[in-house]
Chain A
Amino acid sequence: MAFFPHLLLATLEGLVTSAVLALTALGLSLVFGVMRVVNVAHGEFFMLGAVLAWAITTALGGHPAIGFLLALVVSPLIVGTVALVAERLVLRRLNYNPEATIVATIGMLYIIQQAALTLYGPDARPVEPPFSYRILLPWFGYSGYKLSIVAASILLLLATWFVLTRTKIGLIMRATQYDRETAQAFGIPVDRVYAGVFALGAMLAAVAAVLVVPISQAHYLMGLDPLLLSFIVVIIGGLGSLRGTVVAAVLIGLSDGIISVFFSPTLAKMIATLLVALVLVFRPQGLFGTAAR
Chain B
Amino acid sequence: MAGNRDSKSLLNGTLSRRAALKGFGAAAGLALAPGYVRYAQAQSSAPIKIGFQAHRTGIGAAYGRWYEKTTTAAVKAINDAGGIGGRPIEIVVEDDGTDPKRGAEVVGKFATQHKTDIVYGTLFSHVVIGSAPTAGELKIPYYVVSEGHHVASTKLNRYVFQPGITDVKSQIQAMAPWVASNVGKKVTMIFPDFAFGHDHRDYLPPALKAQGAEVIAQIAIPPTESSFTKYFPQIPAETEVIYHVMVGPAVLTFVKELGEFYGSNRPQLFGFIDSLEAVDINSPGLEFLDGSHFWEGSPRYAQENDSEAQKAYRAAVGIDDNGAAVGDPKDVSTAAHMFGCWETLYVIKKAMEDAGYKGPEDRAKLVEATEALTKFDEGPEHPQGDKIFNGKIHQCFGHQNISKVEGGKLKVVHRTSIEEGLYEPEGDYTTMPL
Contacts and interface: CB of A to CB of B under 8 A. Distances in A.
Chains A and B directly touch (beta carbon < 8 Å): yes
A9 B222 contact: no
B230 A257 contact: yes
A265 interface: yes
A242 interface: no
A292 interface: no
B193 A266 contact: yes
B220 A264 contact: yes
Contacts of B249: 124, 217, 219, 221-222
A134 B59 CA distance: 32
B67 to A, nearest CB: 12
A265 B59 contact: no
A159 interface: no
Interface stretch (B278-286, B299-307, B414-422): B278-286
B263 A136 contact: yes
Contacts of A124: 62, 249-252, 279
A216 B231 contact: no
Interface string B221-256: 110111101111110010000000000011111001
B260 interface: yes
Given A9-B230, A128-B284, A221-B59, A265 B193 contact: yes
B261 A265 contact: no
Interface residues on A, range: 35 or more
Interface string A170-190: 000000000000000000000
A122 B233 CA distance: 32
Interface residues on B, range: 35 or more
A122 B279 CA distance: 11
Interface in A117-134: 117, 121-126, 128-129, 134
Given A122-B62, A134-B263, A1 B237 contact: yes
Given A215-B256, A265-B193, A266-B220, A140 B261 contact: yes
B115 interface: no
Contacts of B221: 265
A215 B226 CA distance: 10
B219 interface: yes
Contact of A122 (B65, B231, B260, B263): B65
A216 B250 contact: yes
Contacts of A217: 249-250, 252-253
Contact of A260 (B230, B251, B262): B230
A100 B343 CA distance: 50
Contacts of A14: 230
Describe B's contact surface by its main secondary structure: mixed
Contacts of B263: 134, 136, 141
Contacts of B237: 1
A124 B285 CA distance: 14
A101 interface: no
A16 B64 CA distance: 33
A142 interface: yes
Contact of A5 (B219, B233, B262): B233
A123 to B, nearest CB: 5
B266 to A, nearest CB: 10
Contact of B220 (A134, A215, A216, A265): A265
A51 B112 CA distance: 40
Interface string A90-132: 0000000000000000000000001001000111111011000
A216 B229 CA distance: 12
Contacts of B41: none
B57 interface: yes
Interface string A13-25: 1101100000000
A240 to B, nearest CB: 27
Nearest to A273: B224
Nearest to A265: B222
Nearest to B231: A265
Given A140-B261, A143-B260, A216-B253, A122 B227 contact: no
Nearest to B254: A216
Interface string B33-60: 0000000000000000000000001110
Nearest to A215: B253
Given A123-B278, A124-B279, A140 B232 contact: yes
A126 B285 contact: yes
Contacts of B183: none
The 5 closest A-B pairs by CB, nearest first: A122-B61, A124-B249, A1-B233, A219-B249, A6-B233
Interface of B: 57-59, 61-62, 64-65, 193, 219-222, 224-227, 229-234, 237, 249-253, 256-257, 260-263, 278-279, 283-285, 331-332
12 contacts: A9-B232, A64-B284, A121-B331, A122-B64, A123-B332, A126-B252, A126-B284, A141-B262, A142-B229, A215-B253, A221-B59, A257-B230
